[in-house]
Amino acid sequence: MLASALIVFREVLEAALVVAVILSATQGLGGRRSWIGWGVAVGILGAVVVAALMGRISESLSGAGQPVFEAAVLLSAVAMLGWHNVWMARHGRRMADELKRLGREVGVGRKSMAALFTAAAVAVMREGSEIALFLYGVSASGAGKASIAVGGLLGLAAGAAAGFALYRGLMKIPVRHFFRVTGWMLLLLAAGMASQAAAFLNQADLLPALRDRVWDTSWLLGADSLAGAVLKTLV
């Protein structure tokens, strides 16, 4: 549940911040909410289609193809999580500046309102597709569907609330440092996904196992304790 909550919270907050920047940059512009709202709706629809396609592909595979597909999804999620953290750290500020410039250009008539629709749709679909990929990776790691669903809903509510509060100025947090902390937590999740991907490849006889278990600290920290459950999720 913690893994899905963290992933959904982070991605929803990123999408909410993009929408908030666009809304802030187009204050007083008539019809902006409609264009941006439709963009968000189309982005959500696109992400749902991506998630459905992933489910169909998974269901169509059987035998040795299933663990190979699971490993491919996990490794894709690992690569995306790593790339996303690096990209946001280097280009997050520039992306915000470009969105503000887009809002100003729409305000003075240099670009049409459709640009707001496109920016919102692309941002939401990108983050939503990443959520679908990452949650599939969490599911492939062995998490139950119920815990993923509950964590996802909690992350969705928290991310949307935090994004709205930041837009309204009700909450002041150093966003850069916040994303840095969550970024490190996501990298720990990525490490766990990579380990599970290796297990699937071993199951498909594509990767030999050096030994069954690298270490066992259950005598020190049980998986049924709160700290143990958190570390099991992140590592």
Compute the C-alpha angle 133/77/62, nearest 5°: 70
The structure tokens 């196992």 sit at: 209
Kindly report which listed range (38-52, 85-99, 122-136, 155-169) carries the lowest average pLDDT score: 85-99
Domain count for the chain, please give it. 1
Mean pLDDT in residue range 197-217: 71
77 pLDDT above the threshold of 80:
yes
pLDDT band for 177, please (50, 70, 90 cuts): low
* Cα–Cα distances in angstroms (integers) from residue 160 to residues 9, 24, 146, in the given order: 8, 16, 21
Amino acid at 99: L
* Cα–Cα distances in angstroms (integers) from residue 68 to residues 76, 144, 166, in the given order: 12, 20, 42
Handedness of CA 20, 26, 29, 35 (dihedral sign): negative
**Residue 83 tokens, joined:** 């790339």
Question: Where is pLDDT greater, at 21 or 224?
Answer: 21
Amino acid at 207: L
133 pLDDT above the threshold of 80:
yes
pLDDT band for 231, please (50, 70, 90 cuts): low
pTM: 0.76
233 pLDDT above the threshold of 70:
no
pLDDT at 222: 58
Per-state percent for the chain, helix, strand, coil, to nearest 5: 80, 0, 20
pLDDT at 199: 79
pLDDT at 216: 62
- Domain extent for 72: 2-234
41 pLDDT above the threshold of 90:
yes
